Chains A and B, each alone.
Chain A
Amino acid sequence: MQLLLEQVVNGCAIGSLYGLFAIGFGLVFATLGILNAAHGTYASFAAIAGYYAATSAGLPFIASTSVGVAAGAALAVMVDQVAFQPLRHRKAGMIGALITSIAFWMILDRLAGLATGEQSLSFPAGTYPGGTWMVGSLPLPQMQVVAIVSLIVVAAGVHWLIAHSRLGAAMRAVGWNEAAAQIAGVNPRLVILATAALAGATSALAGVLAGISTNNVSASLGEGMLLKGFAAVVVGGYEDVRGAAIAGLGLGIAEVLSAQYISTSMRDAITYALLLGFLVLRPRGLFGRVSFVRA
């Protein structure tokens, strides 16, 4: 029982990172209509920026994390304006945007490699909460708690923003029909910039926390989150951040428990088989309301 509880906590912690990443990934897809393959590099660059803020500038945990989040948001806006805005202008469609995002993924991945000297770096001890709390006999590493709390706060905050604020209404309107939103007085360019920044920031937070938790600040960090984040968005439903958050958590728990109790080497196969089974039962995802386009 003790082992099960520990592994569920481990699964929640890693699933929180998937969920955080998925919220940003899903926002871009739902609002901007872009399946952005470069999204993982925002997480990588955020972790790298946070690392250098902690090690070179000596900033404390919250400040270095904020630097990473700001860097991820800025990068997301830059990529959107350089890569996707011209395509939007020409109405190039989703495939054109996907291919462009793959090109940016490759370019940014190499730049991230140069920024780390092709090494896997890690935040030094003392630059983040590295201790462990004990709840009875259950160990709770502080970074795991930070990850889980971050997911709860971010998912609740972004959900409120989209469901109850004027900006959120504008984002939903642009996601549904950009031209109609413009007629109704929404500035689509501004909404797109805000969406890109918010999406970049949430995935960047996942990147910084993952970089710290896994001792792996490298170009490959975001790549590992991309597939898991995509799976969480598909299972959670594109239109609701609560779905992405819950699906991310479920993905993390399924991954850890299947490794513990079934097979470590078949872990990913089992996890994705479970996801596939879920989608057969509920193809719109947890909170999806309308069917997505089928091949």
Chain B
Amino acid sequence: MARRLVWLMASAMALGTTAQAAVPPGEYLVGFITDSTGPLAAAGVSYTRGAELAAAEVTASNAIATGAKLSLEIKEAGGDAARSIQNMNQFIANRRILATTCCILSGIVNSLKPVVAGKIPLVVYGATAPGLPAPPWVYSVTALPGPSDTATAALVANAMKPKTVAYFVSADNDAFKARMAAAEKAVTETGAKTVATISVLGTDTDFTAPATQAMGANPDAIMIYTTQTPCAGIIAALRARGYKGMIVGNDVLAPAAIWKKIGAPLVGVPFPLSFSPEVNQTAEATAFSAAYEKAYGGPPDLYSAQGYAAIWLIAQAMHGMDGTPTREGLAEALSKQTAVTHNVYGGQAITGGQAAATGLTVVNWTAEGKLVKWSPPK
């Protein structure tokens, strides 16, 4: 606890050196659109918890200014675009709300961009399609996963030398389609041939038939670019049907809940990782993990880390403001941020409103349920 407070105070002091001006004491509201129900609920709960923790830390450490309290006004959207827009309009109408943060789905962010433009700043915590940020009003703290996916696919292909590869892709998700296309290009450049591309939908739950289809092509390796439920389900179905080749996943496999759900079939499946308490061991990451564990009785995951980053970015921008903050002033302050200074990644630069990943970490689950850095099997 003492270690956590020291780090929070240090963060606040670091912010304090960048500007002498301050906003007046009082409560400042951030509108938070959550998807804590519906098909995205598992991730939605994590994003929200990370954001709640960040808001509490910002207030406790006077990170914005002495006596400035940051509170979240949370509205449920259930992953639905219409409800998200309705919630955003309510936030815009409430003049006490200075900034907003939202969205797991890129399509919903694109729907909200014209709604918020010129009215209220929006920091995206989850969606990962390229081109979402539109400064000075829209920012994203989630590093684009495409480069990590591509690098992971190339790393595995170079190490394992598969001659044939089959791909799974979410047909109803443009971001995953783009991620798969980039990864396939990188793998093809290593000499591997694509033998099957199998589409699944985000709402699918039975993957026995798609797994049979992939195995029918007899690939040396299978690479999966889908949302969480299909990704985990496909791996379980492939292993249940006896597939022994290499499987490559993506970052949706990182949460501990997925290990608890699927277990042994995930062992040895490499995937890129942005955050995990077991792998990210910076002082900020350790303090965040301990605080999260204490608050919610379980470890944080990559989603809670992203919710956490969104709120810290808003607080950081508010810290540099003078006098009573306005939405326009905050939008301008956000546009001047070049990094999220308090982060759990060991560095998080921002370019053109888009946060970027630092380095590449490829991990896999072990039989004991631990995440370790991946190395090619001997």
Contact = CB atoms under 8 A, between A and B. Distances in A.
Contact of B205 (A110, A141, A216, A265): A216
B272 to A, nearest CB: 22
Contacts of B206: 14, 210, 213-214
B42 A118 contact: yes
A141 B240 contact: yes
B213 interface: yes
A117 B172 CA distance: 26
B244 interface: no
B42 A119 contact: yes
Contact of B37 (A118, A121, A122): A118
B208 A14 contact: yes
Given A14-B206, A117-B45, A215-B262, 9 more contacts: A11-B209, A14-B208, A118-B36, A118-B42, A139-B241, A214-B233, A215-B236, A224-B205, A264-B198
B212 interface: yes
B232 interface: yes
Interface in A136-160: 139, 141, 144
Contacts of A3: 212-213, 216
A253 B219 CA distance: 25
A113 B41 contact: yes
Contacts of A260: 209, 212-213
A130 interface: yes
Residue of B171, B172, B212, B257 with most chain A CB atoms under a 10 A cut-off? B212
B257 to A, nearest CB: 6
Interface in B188-207: 198-201, 203, 205-207
Interface residues of B, number: 36
Interface residues of A, number: 37
A165 interface: no
A100 interface: no
Interface in A31-72: none
A216 B206 CA distance: 9
A267 to B, nearest CB: 8
B210 A214 contact: no
B209 A119 contact: no
Interface of A: 3, 6-7, 10-11, 13-14, 110, 113, 117-122, 124-125, 130, 132, 139, 141, 144, 210, 213-216, 220-221, 224, 255-256, 259-260, 263-265
13 contacts: A6-B216, A7-B212, A110-B37, A122-B262, A125-B263, A213-B206, A214-B205, A215-B236, A215-B261, A216-B233, A220-B203, A259-B209, A263-B199
Interface in B1-51: 36-39, 41-42, 44-45
A139 to B, nearest CB: 6
B289 to A, nearest CB: 20
Contacts of B60: none
B377 interface: no
A113 B78 CA distance: 12
Contacts of B229: 120, 216
B359 interface: no
Contact of B209 (A10, A122, A215): A10
B37 A113 contact: yes
Interface string B252-264: 0000010001111
B242 interface: yes
Contacts of B216: 3, 6
Contacts of B205: 210, 214-216, 220-221, 224
Contacts of B240: 130, 132, 141
Contact of B45 (A13, A118, A141, A215): A118
A213 B208 contact: yes
A214 B242 CA distance: 16
Contacts of A255: 209
A224 B41 contact: no
A255 B315 CA distance: 50
B199 A264 contact: yes
A259 B171 CA distance: 12
Contacts of A124: 263
Nearest to B235: A215
Given A14-B208, A144-B208, A260-B209, A120 B261 contact: yes
Contacts of A113: 37, 41
Contacts of B200: 264
A243 to B, nearest CB: 23
Contacts of B233: 214-216
Given A130-B240, A224-B203, A118 B208 contact: no
* Among B210, B240, B264, residue most surrounded by chain A Cβ atoms (within 10 Å): B240
A11 B209 CA distance: 8
A132 B243 CA distance: 13
Given A113-B41, A118-B37, A120-B42, A13 B208 contact: yes
A49 B270 CA distance: 34
Given A113-B37, A125-B264, A215-B232, A10 B208 contact: yes
